Structure 1
Amino acid sequence: MTEPAIVPAAVLVPLLRRPEGPALLLTRRAMSVATHKGQIAFPGGAVEPEDASVEAAALREAAEEIALPPERARVLGVLPMQHTWTGFEVFPVVAQIDEVPALVPNPKEVAQIFEVSLAWLRTPGVFQRLDREVGGRRFTDYRYSTAEGVVWGLTGRIIYDLLHSAFV
């Protein structure tokens, strides 16, 4: 049996500077996409051959999905790579956005764009850790309750890593 090919991917983790404190920019995936329909996610996708780096891929994907001009994002660094059940190695690229332009969701990929403050994500009762077993494999799922729904899976793991990083 052949192992599935590992696909490198990158997501942009946009940290917004707001007067009341930093916030994260998130999207809700469109129902028309092939996978993870309607889920809350960061903008991102597969690293393409023309991408010079994972940072370039994350910036390109954010421009394609939410019309964020790459020059508006100041890359701060990359969080630890995450594996997905679907065969991706995802590199979370953290970037600061000082002035948020008018963002437009690409309707083929994104149904909604919204913000969640880091203060909210740190509020007691918002976070839940679940240790689970699926198909004989144990893993930890990090979940965050927001006004827009529950953030979980890969996005929850990335938020958990971000909140425990030197970036915030």
Structure 2
Amino acid sequence: MGERGCGRSCLTDVELDETIGRAPPDIEHERAVAIFDLIEENSFQPVGDTVGGPYRLKISLANSRLVLAVKRENGETVVTHMLSLTPFRRIVKDYFLICESYYEAIRSASPRQIEAIDMGRRSLHNEGSQTLMARLAGKIEVDFDTARRLFTLLCVLHWRR
């Protein structure tokens, strides 16, 4: 997607493999926004990599697992990690449900009701981000904000309309 000078512990490019599949234009737009936000500001360091980045990340799916292939900007492979999507299923499902409630509430609910739903939405998003950080522990070091952006991308990959 984009290139920027960001030091040795960051992503400068995120690519979605064809195994992710194409989506309707509005979801493709949401994916592009999630990738842009991730690249714009992140902290990303594969554990044990002494050379450093910046890094390029290719995301794919294989056997119900999320595949994170990390390379240097010159294309040299750093590491590939596979994460089971099972720990995220409930969180993503609940997150989608509360997002639907939030979008409905925006049309007709009081500001207090909207705020309460939004607090629940943010709480679920934080839970998903913490789960992602735990699943990446010992593999890839990310800060909480980067985990939030990665979780957003994970959600958008599963978004169906």
Question: Please, what TM-score do these two structures have when normalized by structure 2?
Answer: 0.34
Larger radius of gyration between Structure 1 and Structure 2? 2
Q: TM-score, normalised by structure 1?
A: 0.33
Instruction: Give the structure with the higher percent helix.
Output: 2
Counting strand residues as a fraction of each chain, which structure ranks higher? 1
